[in-house]
Structure 1
Amino acid sequence: MAETRANGSAQPHGADSEYHNQLTVPVSPNVPEQIPELLEKVHNLGKTVDVNNTKERIALLDTVRALMFALETPREAMIRHCWSWTTCLAAVEVAVDLGLWHILAKDDKPKTVDELAQATGAEPLLLSRILKHLCSMGTIIETGHNEYRRTGFAVTMTMKRFADSYPCMTNCVSAAALALPAFLKKNGYRVPMNGKDCPFQTGYRTDLHFFEFFQKFPEVARQFNNHMSAYHQGRPSWMDFYDVRSLYNGVGSDDVLLVDVGGNVGHDITEFKRKWPDAPGRLVLQDLPEVISHAKDTGLPSYIEPMAHDFFTEQPVKGARAYFMHSVLHDWSDEKGREILKQLAKAMKPGYSKVLINENVIPETEASWESTSIDILMMTLLASQERTASQWQQLVESAGLKITKIWTDLKGAESLIECELA
């Protein structure tokens, strides 16, 4: 016999309860008790939000997203996970290949499917189906039957470094992520530790390491570099929230102020010089020989000193004020990361030199989807990881260093870990 609840409804027992759950839980709001509070929070934030203020806009966006998660039913969430985003990636990439975004973005005038089909050469029926899905995913606006108008997203997709993100996912990311369940099942659900034996090799049927794959397929490497460039646009820069002037202490014009270790073609140093033009001392860019050669070919500013260097080997610049690394250590396991840091520690001047690590620091609670997503991707692509503050502390201390402060912005998504010799 069913037990009567305080509100008068019956609570079934045993098999009846399981059957009741199967019928009702999948089609009921996911976290109903949170809905009233989140509605009130959205209302209050909406009254004062400045949408051009990044922190205020993201606070509202996070609350709206939390409200959506609470409101939608488990069945709706399952369908969204399984159906919407994989098909959205495919539809956006088709639109990239067709040049559709450029046509839509020419002006704010609505365009019919027939107009767009004639301009792209695509079959009208096919295009109408693609456009309907793009609209349902919020990338364009439907203005009438078979008629669509651009959005800010559509305009952004005319920029190659953003548009390249979609074929990049197809060519070097998505298959690895989809291979993760089978890989973990096969290896007994252990964290992958070898960058040449992780879901990337399974998904792309290759023996190559992720970075070796780029050497074999330079067009994919170009797409990936464009994707990372787009990823970084609009994110806070470490030099905007770190006390840069503290680096000036004791630095003369002939001293090395900053060594950008694994700095690619010098984006960080260029930004640093632009924002801090009066900073004393020399600026050194280090990366592998082929990267440095490419950097020289693309025209390095005269204030950057290029230097070919493998960061797993002895650091040639001794006693610099700061050794800086941007998104380097998240590419490597703790073992490899320790090797990199130990080479820097041996080159540092006690009481003077610093190591500045520009990475994600995942919060112990309330981590953002962006940080957790990239952590899963690092596991699948490189057998590496994003790290929490405690994990960073363990890694840094294992290399003979100590963390003096973690400077952070946007819930740890962009952080600077300041280290000295222990």
Structure 2
Amino acid sequence: MKKFRLSTWLGSGSTSDAAEGDEPKQNRRSFSPFSARSSAKVKDEISTEASASKDAYTMPESPVLSPSRLTELAKKIALETEKLEKYMQDNSLPMPTLDPSGPGDFPKLPEDIQKSRMEIIYATRELEALAHGPREDVRWKTWSLVPIDGTITLAELQSKTSLDPVNVARILRHVMTNRIFREPSPGVIAHTAASRLLAEDQSLQDWVGYNLEDNFPASAHVLQALNAYPEATSLTRTGFNFAFDTVDKEPMFVTFGKDPARAKRFGGAMLSLTGGEGYEVKHLVDSYDFGEIDSKGGTLVDIGGSHGFVCVDLAKKWRNMKFVVQDLPKTVDSAPNPISDDSQVSERIELVAHDFFKEQTVKDADVYFFRWIIHNYSTPYAVSILKNLVPALKPGAKVVIKDHCLREPGQETPWDERIIRSMDMVMLAVLNAQERNEDEYRELFKAADERYVFKGVMRPRGCRMSIIEAVWDPEGLGTAAGPNDSVPAEIKEE
């Protein structure tokens, strides 16, 4: 079949234009991607009978919390944990553990101690939600019909939708348990911080829509795809293809290309993702030393670089380098002109149409750069991309990849590992692609051409993405394989 690339032609709409222009606006997201979270909340408004019960767990009604709420929750967790632990010790009960040899179920507790246990659970969930902030705690899609600073009755809300009124109420009261919307009085709906963000942030709306309507159905069909095609390398035999009846017909991006609204939503979703915390372009700008290349007015080619926002940021720091941004014709044609209001920047950046599944057309550049590209492809496709560079490479040319690099299990912080490995599963579901570890990147370059010398992987502090580098050494002149020395030691992650 014809080979396809991950299209960044989706940037033709106004959302992408605004995001990929002169200002580094793609850095404004703090929403953490592909991570499901459930945060239950029990309303204060309970019946008199329930109020008398010892099972009436106390949670605040108002979403507007005082600055001391973090401390209040921490103290509550400590107090209730002390009660629970003392009871278990006094009664020689096994303490909870995540060790596989530990008990599978929590021991049966008396009513008052069970209440302490539930207070711990609900307080830790609220504390987690506060620590994340509302942008990271959103996972639903009902927002635009509720006034930003006012309220709307359930009856009014139902009249504006095609849903049955009973089901509208059921759905809303479910999402309220995740702190999305609130019911300040019976039958009256108002925003919380999370639902207000959805109403006001188009990229976040796109992110939620993409996950609910594209990614989740694809994920549900991954096992079906793997059972049918266990090699999992084809772009047209994925969970996405099984979900949308396009097996052996077309990749996901061709499907999106036939539906402009869906394509635009995906572009907005990727804006929300790639500007999220730990993914900002500043980590590359601040960490990678292009000083030697800049001093001689060298050239960097940003392959699959969309509208060139990465090169704009780099050009502001490195004032002598030249930049070539390559992407498909549709993306290049929709790029802002000029690409930057700073003429000293824009005059050094050229946008050129190019398909990276064809031979590289820019010869003898100093750096060939890929950001969010290689992880979109299974090994046969990724090797092909690197092979297509070979005719253009001069001795000493660098190939720099900015992508996730998987560490050994348990070496990440638990939160970062969950995000990165969730991304790995998403790539499997929609493209039969993958995140890779250092050895797998090394093997990619080796499979593409033995004359690539793998230099290693470095990850700037505070960044979830790594800098992977190889150097072209056609004559075997002794380019030493070793740590990447283009990242200063003081900003490398410890």
Give the deviation of 1:249 after TM superposition.
0.8
Match of 1:155 in 2: 196
SS in 2 for 1:130: helix
Q: 1:412 to 1:375 in 2, by over 3 A?
A: farther
What is aligned with 2:365?
320
Shift in alpha-carbon separation, 1:121–1:375, aligned structure 2, 3 A: closer
SS in 2 for 1:358: strand
Amino acid aligned to 2:309 = H
Letter in 2 for 1:155: R
**Do 1:242 and 1:416's aligned partners in 2 also have CA atoms closer than 8 Å?**
no
Give the distance between the partners of 1:133 and 1:196, measured in 2 at CA.
Answer: 36
Q: 1:165 — aligned with what?
A: 207
Matched, 1:416 2:467: yes
In the other structure, the counterpart of 2:283 is 240
Match of 1:4 in 2: none
Q: Tell me the residue number matched to 2:180.
A: 139
The 1:153/1:253 distance shift into structure 2, 3 A limit, reads farther
Distance 2:228 2:359 in 1: 38
Where does residue 392 of structure 2 map in the other structure?
Answer: 347
Q: Percent identity?
A: 24
Return the TM-score normalized by structure 1.
0.70
What is the CA-CA distance between 1:350 and the residue it aligns to?
2.2
Amino acid at match of 1:363: R
Could you tell me how far 1:25 is from its partner in structure 2? Answer: 3.9
The 2-side partners of 1:194 and 1:28 are apart by: 48
Distance 1:250 1:179, change over 3 A: closer
1:286 is paired with a residue whose SS is strand
Residue of structure 1 in register with 2:378 after alignment:
333
Q: Give the match for residue 362 of structure 1.
A: 406
**How big is the shift at 1:133?**
1.3
Deviates more, 1:393-402 or 1:200-209: 393-402
The one-character-per-residue Cα deviations of 1:174-223 (angstroms, maximum 9, x if unpaired) are 22211112222334xx2411112222221110121112212222221111
Q: Distance in 2 between matches of 1:419 and 1:238?
A: 20
Counterpart for residue 378 of structure 1:
427
- The residue type paired with residue 239 of structure 2 is P
- 1:308 and 2:353 correspond: yes
Residue 226 of structure 1 pairs with residue 268 of structure 2: yes
The aligned amino acid for 1:362 is: L
Q: CA deviation at 1:142?
A: 4.3
Q: 1:280 aligns with which of 292, 312, 320?
A: 320
| AA in 2 matched with 1:179 | H
1:128-180 CA-partner distances (Å, limit 9, x unpaired): 22221111122234434344442332222122221122332344322221111
Letter of the 1:233 counterpart: G
SS of alignment partner, residue 157 of structure 1: helix
Q: 1:193/1:120 Cα in 2 relative to 1: closer, same or farther (>3 Å)?
A: closer
Give the one of 224, 234, 256 matched to 1:182. 224
- On the 8 A contact 1:360/1:412 being kept in 2, the answer is no
CA 129–340 in structure 1, closer or farther in 2 if over 3 Å, else same = same
Name the aligned partner's letter for residue 289 of structure 1: P
Give the Cα–Cα distance (whole angstroms) in 1 for the partners of residues 464 and 156 of structure 2. Answer: 42
Distance 1:26 1:121, change over 3 A: same
**Candidates 164, 168, 180, aligned match of 1:127:** 168
Check conservation: 2:233, 2:432, Cα contact below 8 A: yes
Give, as a single letter, the amino acid of the residue that structure 1 aligns with 2:454: I
Structure with more contact order per residue of length (Cα contacts < 8 Å, sep ≥ 6): 2
Q: 1:365 to 1:197 in 2, by over 3 A?
A: same
**Relative to structure 2, which stretch is displaced further, 298-307 or 373-382?**
298-307
| 1:30-109 equivalent positions in 2, closer than 5 A | 92-93=140-141, 95-96=142-143, 99-100=144-145, 103-104=146-147, 106-107=148-149
**Aligned CA-pair RMSD:** 3.6
Indicate the residue corresponding to 2:332 in structure 1. 292
- Structure 2 residue 458 is matched with structure 1 residue 407: yes
One-letter amino acid of the structure 2 residue matched with residue 211 of structure 1: F
- Structure 1 residues 118 and 8: CA distance shift in structure 2, 3 A: closer
- Give 1:250 shift: 4.2
**TM-aligned CA deviation for residue 348 of structure 1:** 2.8
In 2, Cα distance between the equivalents of 1:281 and 1:338? 28
Q: Which runs of 5+ in 1 are unaligned?
A: 1-6, 10-23, 30-35, 52-56, 61-84
Kindly indicate whether the alpha-carbon contact (under 8 Å) linking 1:324 and 1:355 is maintained by their aligned counterparts in 2.
yes
Shift of 1:228: 0.6
CA offset at residue 245 of structure 1?
6.4
> Using the alignment, how far apart are the partners of 1:250 and 1:385 within structure 2?
31
Correspondent of 1:211 among 235, 253, 259: 253
TM-score normalized by the length of structure 2: 0.60
More helix by share: 1
Q: Judging changes above 3 Å, is the alpha-carbon distance between structure 1 residues 265 and 287 closer, same or farther for their aligned structure 2 residues?
A: same
Q: Is the 8 A contact 1:164 1:223 kept in 2?
A: yes
- Count of residues in Structure 1 that have an aligned counterpart in Structure 2: 341
How much does 1:122 deviate? 6.3
**Contact residue 241 and residue 408 of structure 1 kept, 8 A:** no
Partner of 1:390: 439
Cα deviations by residue, 1:78-104 (Å, 9 ceiling, x for unpaired) = xxxxxxx9xx96xx33x15xx23xx34
The SS at the match of 1:324 is strand
Cα distance between partner residues in 2 of 1:416 and 1:238: 12
> d(CA) in 1 for partners of 2:166 and 2:338?
47
Q: Is 1:259 the counterpart of 2:301 in the alignment? A: yes
3-state SS of paired residue (1:357) = strand
Equivalent residue number for residue 63 of structure 2: none
Q: How far did 1:227 drift? A: 0.3
Describe the shift of the 1:126–1:172 C-alpha distance in structure 2 as closer, same or farther (beyond 3 A).
closer
CA contact (8 A) 1:242 1:407 kept: no
